[in-house]
Amino acid sequence: MKRMAETPSYRRIEERRVYQGERVEVYEDAVRFPDGHEGAHTWVRHRGSAARGVVVIAPDGDGRVLLVRMHRYLFPDASWEFVRGSLDEGETPEQAARRELGEETALEAGTVAEIGVLRPDTGIWTTEVSVVVATVSDATRIEPQHDEGIATAEFMPLATVWNLVADGEVKDGITLAALALLAARERPQG
Kindly state whether residue 1 falls inside one of the protein's structural domains: no
Candidates 109, 102, 114; CA nearest to 148 is 102
Domain that holds residue 25: 11-46
Same domain for 151 and 76? yes
Number of compact structural domains in the chain: 2
State residue 133's pLDDT score: 97
Same domain for 20 and 95? no
Same domain for 64 and 41? no
Same domain for 111 and 18? no
pTM value surpassing 0.85: yes
Residue-wise over 90-122: b if at least 16 C-beta within 10 A, else e? ebebbebbbbbbeebbebebeebeeebebebee
Pairwise CA distance, residues 93 & 66, whole Å = 18
The 3-state DSSP composition of the chain as helix, strand, coil percent (nearest 5) reads: 25, 40, 40
Same domain for 146 and 102? yes
Kindly state whether residue 148 falls inside one of the protein's structural domains: yes
Is the separation of the CB atoms in 105 and 68 below 8 Å? yes
Q: For the domain that residue 142 is a member of, what is the CATH number?
A: 3.90.79.10
State residue 55's pLDDT score: 97
Partners of 71 in the beta sheet? 78
Same domain for 64 and 155? yes
pLDDT tens track, the chain, 190 positions: 566 667 778 899 999 999 999 888 999 999 999 999 999 999 998 877 667 899 999 999 898 999 999 988 888 888 999 999 999 989 999 999 999 999 999 999 999 999 999 998 888 998 899 999 999 988 888 888 888 888 899 999 999 999 999 999 999 999 999 999 999 988 777 6
Pairwise CA distance, residues 176 & 182, whole Å = 10
Partners of 118 in the beta sheet? 129
Pairwise CA distance, residues 159 & 114, whole Å = 23
